[in-house]
Amino acid sequence: MPVRARPLSPHLGIYRWQIGNTLSILHRLTGIALALGIVALSYWLISLAGGDAAYGSAIRVLWSPPGILFLVGWTFSFLYHLLNGVRHLFWMPVMASNAPSGT
């Protein structure tokens, strides 16, 4: 099917940069970082089940300079995502009170 140039709704470029969208984008980025962190978390748990030697090598990987950088970034992502997520939860009663009831 031929793709024709269709009119588009206003895209990112025309909006003024604001605090709100920065926080929203950061929430998504930290979410991606935390998802990668689940890989590290599973790796750590699997190494613990694998015995002393396996755990030791996992700790060496996590305590290497890139590992520490990752853990610091992960900690920041966790705290940001947690606090911003709680902020989202506080909006729920407001949204519920604004929502049309039923139908």
Q: Which residues bind another protein (CB under 8 A)?
A: 28, 31-32, 34-35, 38-39, 41-42, 45-46, 48-52, 54-56, 59, 78, 82, 85-86, 88-89, 92, 103
Nearer of residues 35 and 72 to another protein, judged by Cβ: 35
Q: Nearest-CA neighbor of 81 among 39, 43, 31, 46?
A: 31
Q: Is 99 strand, coil or helix?
A: coil
The encoded tokens of residue 74 equal: 């992960």
Q: Which is nearer to another protein, 34 or 61 (CB)?
A: 34
Give least dist CB 88 to another protein, A.
8
Two tokens, residue 5: 């140039």
